[in-house]
Structure 1
Amino acid sequence: MRQLPGLDALFLHLETPEMPMHVGALHLFELPAGFRGHWVNALRKHLKARLPYAGALRRRLAELPLNFSNPIWEPAEPDLRVHVLQHQLGPDADLPELHAQVAALHCQLLPRDRPLWRFHVFEGLAPAANGRKRVALYTQLHHAAVDGQAAVALAQVLLDLTPQPRELPALPPRGKRSAAHGEVDLLRSALTLQARQWFELARSLPGKAGTLSSLAGSAAGDWLGQTAKGVWARLKGEKAPRSHGMLNLAPRTRFNVPVTATRSFASLSLPLMPLQAARKALGASLNDAVLWLCSTALREFLKAEGELPRKPLIAAVPVSMRESGDTRANNQVTMSALSLGTHIADPAKRFKHIQAASGSMKAGLGSLKSLMPLDFPSIGLPWLLPLAAKAWGGVAEKVPPLVNLVISNVPGPGVPLYLAGARMLSNAPASIVVHGIALNITVQTYEKHLEVGLIACGEALPDIDALATQMAAAVEQFIELAAES
């Protein structure tokens, strides 16, 4: 029996019809020359061969008696006719039709009585420039089962480096499957785990308290220092410096509202090599470049709508805590906050602001990681957290926001990949929005492109294509910024 860790289970307990908690991606594929038939059949055959190596696709949830604690994972073989679905688009359909399909499907909850994933194959797309047939694939994986890095590890099992699927090494012989656990066994095991978790939590408290005290002291020192600088600047008749830290609340925007069971989605495939050259010329990381692109797009979009706040937008930035080589299908991630400097009109000054904010965030990550437990006692949480999620939806618009949106950057492969003989052309992520944070921008590198997926509450941001257009335009501005430096 393996009970879900606390962090994984949060994505189950907080899920509502308005807040589906699955992640995924929209992929475009080019079929081999002369391909005949329906690619969905080739995909099902391929998945059947790879399922023994993909544990995250071969398990489902089982609730404990009275649902008093986190559920467990139990083995379950997926029915590929149910988990891999075919959709026929209109003749010569393209990205706008695919975006609409993803927006509609992303609102649908994954059934919890089956493995928590689903693949959707779309046929009917306009052919590629070379005349070859194209298909699209939209994947859904529940966040309780994988985080961004775990999804990348799963992709490494399913995808190949050549059109010809590779032979995987033989698996060790599987032991006898244990008999089904009775209710008494489940209760005993769960209570034993809870006792161990309370013990581990109590044992770690002194160290965590010391770290928290140090962080609080550092934050207080930063605040006092910033205040002193502000007072001195005013005495000299100068403008007070703005803090890069996380002590400021975010301004209220159209993104800081309760979400509804609607979604809008857009994808971009941006040229990676010019961005890499520009960020190197600026002495910056690719992540700094991504944050600047998002900042510039958001600033221009909100300015055009007459909604640009005087205070800078604050982004929640997921940070992986996964050790190198760890491919477990679970969540190992924490969250930090970062100012996007959207109040700064000058592109170069805004970039310096983002670099400073990013550096400040990275400096505190070591201590922050030690404070974030991946597992914790869960008695009562399956009852309490759904109520909390519902209550939060009622007050999210009234509580001052801490952040405005989520921006996530996941490293990806730099070589072309294949699935069931088809070459992957693009890979746009589709992530999660929640009450109070109705916009998520996720990027992933693939081959020679930066793949961008923008997803939002459909009522908060129905015109998400306009934001995507601004992000595409920001690439040329970034290259010009590097040329002028």
Structure 2
Amino acid sequence: MELLNPIDAVFLTAESREHPMHVGSLQIFERPAEQGTDFVRSLYAELMSATPVRPRFRRRQRRILGNFSSVVWAHGEIDLEYHLRRCALPQPGGTAELLDLVEHLHGTLLDRHRPLWEGRIIEGMAGDRLGLYVKMHHALIDGVSAQRLLQRSLTDDPFTTRIRAPWTVSRTEPEPDVPESLWQQVRHALPRLATEVGGVRSAVRALTEGKLALPLSAPATMFNVPIGGARSIAVGSWPMERIHAVRRATGTTVNDVVLALSAAALREYLCKRNALPDKPLTAMVPVNLRRTGETESEGNLVAALLCDLGTDIADPAQRLAAISTSMRESKRVFTELPRLQALALSALLMSPLGLTFLPGFQALPRVPFNLVISNVPGPRKPVYLQGARLEHNYPLSIPFDGQAMNITVTSTADSFDVGIVGCRRAVPHLSTLIDHLDTALTELEHATC
């Protein structure tokens, strides 16, 4: 058995039919021209033969104190034929057919009696392309780690045919150590708990001294309502060089530009529905706390920054400047804290969100923030899967009560890829946000470049 950290336990406890708590990825590959009709069959067969399976991919929930406890993982055998399957799109196999399938897969709960991950190899796509959809429970992994694991099976050599499946142990690294006993894990966790108490004190001080935007200060919007279980998904891609051109012209970061584009798209979407509040929207922006070279074995290690999106500002350049200032001030506080204290501060910023999962608190008069916007780094050069080039990599995350939409961005070599997931009922015509993002990028280029 393996002890969960508190954040991972929250993701398990908060899950319901309306709130599937998994993150996903939709990867689109260009099939190699020299491969015949057996390419997918041979790819699937090689993946199915990839063993041994890492402990992370054999974890399943085990209750040890009754039905209200989710504090440990159990490890067991795995049925790869269940977790990885092939499926095909109906003709003509375009974006509409692809997203219709992925919306269904992404809105379906993972089986708690099995390890909490699944994958689909998707055939029948137009343009002789191939899709790969993978989802993993957020209790197992955060978005940054998920992207790193998916990239384990890719290579920058287009002629390499060997696959390194993300769930396997590399031939060049030793087998994972046997987990400590549950008692050993509890005993080792106690000193960390004492340290985290000091972290909470520092976190409270950062809030009370006015160094950070406070939760529960965001305006209510149409996104901050109870949600259902059905999902809508929208995806879009743009040349990465366009993002870098704005970044260089303004002296900001790629993440600042991502937030500015999202803010502009949200502003336009709400304006067209006469629903734009006078106060600026607030986004929660996850920031990776892992050090260079650190593994993904410790669950979720992400800080939560709150950013003023400047949606009350009409000028694109001024809005970008306001967002950059807001992010810079938030980052300064977090970088001055040790990692445990940064996690404690994140927990305080996120704590009002937990109230929405309690009976009677779903309709809080104030919301902690309006939505989550994530920027997850991807591969910086072309990568391949048995010679099939990765064209696009769309990250797909989690909406929940009071947060009916999520925007996640990554990069794929020279492509800027956006995945938007929303409650199908609460966020109508989600695909129009892709059009608004396209318009926002053009307007920002004209205003700054």
Is TM more than 0.5 here? yes
1:209-248 CA-partner distances (Å, limit 9, x unpaired): 55235314521xx6xxxxxxxxxxxxxxxxxxxxx94477
| Superposed displacement of residue 397, structure 1 | 3.0
- 1:391 aligned to 354, 358, 368, which one? 358
8 Å CA contact 1:253, 1:307 repeated in 2: yes
Structure 1 Cα separation of the partners of residues 33 and 309 of structure 2: 46
CA distance in 1, matches of 2:195, 2:71: 25
Verify: 1:214 aligned to 2:208, yes or no: no
1:350 to 319, 326, 329: 319
| Corresponding residue number in structure 2 for 1:371 | 341
Which residue of 113, 116, 130 corresponds with 1:135? 130
> Does the 8 Å contact 2:356/2:363 carry over to 1?
no
Name the SS of the counterpart of 1:145 in structure 2.
coil
Select 2:234's aligned residue among 266, 269, 273. Answer: 266
**What is residue 12 of structure 2 aligned with on the other side?**
12
Give the structure-1-normalised TM-score: 0.82
- Matched with 2:193 is 201
Are 1:418 and 2:376 an aligned pair?
no
Give the AA of the match of 1:115: P
Give the whole-Å Cα distance in 1 for the aligned partners of 2:58 and 2:196: 34
Give distance in 1, aligned partners of 2:203 and 2:82. 48
Which of 140, 144, 150 aligns to 1:149? It is 144
| CA distance, structure 1, for counterparts of residue 177 and residue 214 of structure 2 | 52
- The amino acid that maps onto 1:215 is A
SS at match of 2:112: coil
Distance apart, 1:3 and its partner CA: 1.5
Alignment correspondent of 2:350: none
The structure 1 residue matched to 2:418, chosen from 437, 441, 452, is 452
Partner residue, 1:379:
none
Q: What is the alpha-carbon distance in structure 2 between the residues aligned to residue 72 and residue 420 of structure 1?
A: 37
State the Cα distance separating 1:316 from its structure 2 match.
Answer: 0.8
Partners in 2 of 1:415 and 1:84 — Cα distance?
27
Give the Cα separation in 1 of the matches to 2:177 and 2:236: 47
Does the residue aligned with 1:52 lie in a helix, a strand or coil?
A: coil
The one-letter amino acid paired with 2:103 is: A
TM-score (norm 2): 0.88
* 2:109 counterpart SS class: coil
Q: Which runs of 4+ in 1 moved over 4 A?
A: 166-169, 171-178, 189-196, 387-390
Change (3 A) 1:40 1:83: farther
Paired residues of 2:46 and 2:163 also in contact (CA < 8 A): no
Structure 1: which 5+ runs fail to align?
128-132, 179-185, 223-243, 375-386
**What corresponds to 2:224 in structure 1?**
256
What CA distance in whole angstroms lies between the structure 2 residues aligned with 1:88 and 1:213? 52
**What is the correspondence of 1:155-234 to structure 2 with a 5 Å cutoff?**
155-163=150-158, 164-166=160-162, 170-171=171-172, 174=175, 190=182, 193-194=185-186, 197-198=189-190, 200-205=192-197, 207-208=198-199, 210-212=201-203, 214-219=205-210
2: CA distance, partners of 1:263 / 1:201: 38
Q: Which amino acid aligns with 1:430?
A: L
User: How far has the Cα of 1:65 moved from its partner?
Assistant: 4.8
- Structure 1 residue matching 2:400: 3-state secondary structure: coil
Alignment of 1:26-105 (within 5 A): 26-37=26-37, 39-48=39-48, 50-52=50-52, 54-66=54-66, 69-105=69-105
Aligned twin of 1:120: 120
Alpha-carbon distance in 2 for matches of 1:211, 1:43: 51
Distance 1:134 1:453 in 2: 19
Task: Note the alpha carbon deviations across 1:236-261, whole angstroms, 9 max, x for none.
Answer: xxxxxxxx944771111110011111
Which residues of 2 match residues 429-440 of structure 1 at below 5 A? 429-440=395-406
Higher-Rg member (1/2): 1
What amino acid does structure 2 have at the position aligned with 1:299?
A: R
CA distance in structure 2 between the aligned counterparts of 1:388 and 1:209, rounded to whole angstroms:
19
Distance 2:209 2:176 in 1: 52
- Give the residue type in structure 2 aligned to 1:165: T
The one of 381, 386, 401 equivalent to 2:367 is 401
Tell me if structure 2 keeps the 8 A contact 1:409–1:444.
yes
Q: Which residue of 1 aligns with 2:348?
A: none
1:313 is matched by which residue type in structure 2?
L
* Aligned partners of 1:252 and 1:404 also within 8 Å: yes
Aligned residue in 2 for 1:225: none
Instruction: Report the Cα distance in structure 2 between the residues aligned to 1:458 and 1:162, rounded to whole angstroms.
Output: 40
Three-state SS of the structure 2 residue aligned to 1:92 is: coil
The amino acid across from 1:208 in the alignment is: G
SS in 1 for 2:269: helix
Deviations 1:351-401 (A, max 9, x none): 221111111111111356442558xxxxxxxxxxxx976525x53334311
Structure-2 separation of matches of 1:213 and 1:89: 51
Q: How many residues align?
A: 432
Are 1:444 and 1:450, in contact at CA under 8 Å, matched by a contact in 2? yes
* Pick aligned residue for 1:338 from 307, 325, 332: 307
Give the direction of change, closer, same or farther, for the CA distance of 1:81–1:209 in structure 2 (3 Å limit): closer
